[in-house]
Amino acid sequence: MEAAYYGSFASDYALNADGMLAVTTSIKGLSGLRDDSVGVWLGDEGSLRLIAKVGDSAPGSLGGFYRTLPQVPSINPLGEVSFKGSYGYKDGGPYRNGLWIERDDALTLVVSDRDPVPGIEGAGFFNAADEFEVNARGDAVFNGSFSGEASGFGDGIWLALNGREEIVPVAVEGQLAPDADGAVFSAVGSSLPFGVPMISDQGDVLFLGSVLGGEEDDAGAFLGLWRYREGSLSLLARTDSPAPGIPGATFKTMGTPVLNRAGQAAFIARINRDDATTSGVGDGQGLWLAGSNNELRKLLVAGDIVDVESNPSLQDLRVIESIDVAGNGGASSGRPSPFNARGELGVRLTFTDGSSGVFIVNTIVPEPSTLVIGVVAILAASISSQPRVFRPGRTAGFVQQCEVGTSPPPNSA
C-alpha cells in the first residue's frame, strides 16, 4: 500500500474505554481496484493498523474476497474489532453477508449467509448479523433472517460464545415466549419480531420482542422486554402490564432500551393511567430501570418535580414535561452510550416552563422523584411559568452537566 493514501474518514467511529479506535476510511491509489476503496482500521497509541480492506481475502469464506465493508465498525473493551461486511467470488454469483471479529491479529468469521441455522433443521441464514454486539468476553450476539423448505422464512437472535466456539439460539420467530400465556414470538403488522439485541459483560442478552396469540386471546399481541441468561429467557416488562412506581398505570408503548456493561437496562415508555392525579399529569412518558437481577423500578416520569438548584439552602423546582435518552443499544460496541457501568445514565429533561437541561441520573440511589415530591404541596406556588436559567448542581440523585443558555462552571475549563 505504498502508493495508497486516505481518501476520507467516516463521520462516525467506535471508541472503547482504553481509547482504542475502530474507524472506516476510503482508500485511494490502490491498483487493481476501483479508485475509491474502503478499509477498516484499529487506532491505538497514536497509530493506525489496517484490519481489512475491500479486495482482501475474506477469512472463512473459502476463497471469497471482501466486496463491501461497514460505515461504522465496533470495538469491544478488549480492543477486538468486529464488523459486518459482504464477500463474493471472482467467478461471480451473489454477494454474501458475514460477521468477522479480529482477535490476536487474526480475523475469524463468526457467521455468514447460507450457514446452517442452529436448532432449525434444513434452514440457512440470509442477511446474517444485520445488528450485532461483542462483549468483553468475546461473546457476539446478532440477529438475522433464515429460510428453509420446512421452516419457511423467519427471524431470530443468536449468541456466538467466544466468537464462533458455539452458536446458540436466544429467541426465534415462532418459538413459545415464556410468561406469555402460550403466545409465540411473531412479527406484528409491518414490524419485525425482534429489536436490536444487546449484551452485557456477563453474557446477558437484552432485546425487545413482540408476541402474538395465546390461550386467552388468539388475536392478542404485546411487546415485551426480555433477558436471556445462561440458557433461559425472562420477561422483564410488557405493554399493558402495571408500570412500577405509578399506581393505576400500565405500559402503553416501550422504546429501545440502553444496556450498560454491568447488565442494567433503562428504557423510556409511554403509560396509560387510571388516575391522572397520581403525579399531576395524564397519560405520559416515563423512564424505568431493569436491574441486573431483573427487578423493575421507576426512575422518572412526566409530572415529577426536580430541584435543579445547587445551593442546598435554596430551591429551584421544575416539572418534567418530557424525557429523552440519547443513543441506544449496548455499551460494549464502542459506540456512543449514555449508560456507564457505574449506573450513571445521561438524560435530557424538558420542563413545562420551556427550559431544558442535560442530567446524570444515579440509578443506584432511591427514586429521585420520591425525594422531591414531599415538598410539592408547600412550594408548588414558587414554580415560575417563565423560563429561568439553570445552575449546575447535585440534587435528588442528579448532576446537571450542561444546559442551553448557561455558562460553564468556573472550574470546567
Distances (CA, A) of 233 to 79, 139, 182, 264, 312: 29, 17, 14, 16, 45
- Give me the pLDDT at residue 388, please: 28
Q: Is the pLDDT of residue 238 over 50?
A: yes
- Give me the pLDDT at residue 308, please: 86
For residue 369, what is the enclosing H or E element? helix 368-373
% of residues, the chain, pLDDT over 70 = 79
Q: Is the pLDDT of residue 387 over 50?
A: no
- Give me the pLDDT at residue 403, please: 36
Beta pairing partners, 267: 288
- Give me the pLDDT at residue 46, please: 86
| Mean pLDDT value across residues 209-227 | 76
Rounded distance, CA 346 to CA 358, Å? Answer: 7
- Give me the pLDDT at residue 326, please: 76
Cβ-contact 239, 290 below 8 angstroms: no
- Give me the pLDDT at residue 182, please: 85
| Mean pLDDT value across residues 63-75 | 90
- Closest by Cα among 143, 217, 222, 211 to 177: 211
pLDDT band at 129 (very low <50, low <70, confident <90, very high): confident
- Give me the pLDDT at residue 370, please: 35
3-state secondary structure of 408: coil
pLDDT tens figures, 5-56: 677 777 788 888 889 999 998 887 665 555 568 999 999 988 889 999 999 9
Q: Which cell is 357 given?
A: 437541561
Q: Is the pLDDT of residue 331 over 80?
A: no
Higher-confidence position of 215 and 389: 215
Q: Is the pLDDT of residue 194 over 60?
A: yes
Q: Residue 312 class from Cβ within 10 Å (0-12 exposed, 13-18 middle, 19+ buried)?
A: exposed
- Closest by Cα among 213, 209, 214, 260 to 235: 209
Higher-confidence position of 336 and 251: 251
| Mean pLDDT value across residues 186-205 | 86
Q: Residue 409, Cβ neighbours under 10 Å: how many?
A: 14
Rounded distance, CA 282 to CA 246, Å? Answer: 12
Q: Which cell is 68 given?
A: 463491501
pLDDT band at 223 (very low <50, low <70, confident <90, very high): very high
Q: Is the pLDDT of residue 237 over 90?
A: yes
Q: Is the pLDDT of residue 385 over 50?
A: no
pLDDT band at 119 (very low <50, low <70, confident <90, very high): confident
- Give me the pLDDT at residue 413, please: 33
Q: Is the pLDDT of residue 395 over 90?
A: no
3-state secondary structure of 393: coil
Higher-confidence position of 367 and 107: 107
User: Among 64-68, 214-218, 230-234, where is mean pLDDT lowest?
Assistant: 214-218
387: CB partners within 8 A, 6+ apart: 353, 354, 355
Higher-confidence position of 374 and 279: 279
Q: Is the pLDDT of residue 219 over 90?
A: no
Q: Return mean pLDDT, the chain.
A: 80
- Give me the pLDDT at residue 251, please: 94
pLDDT tens figures, 183-192: 899 987 767 8
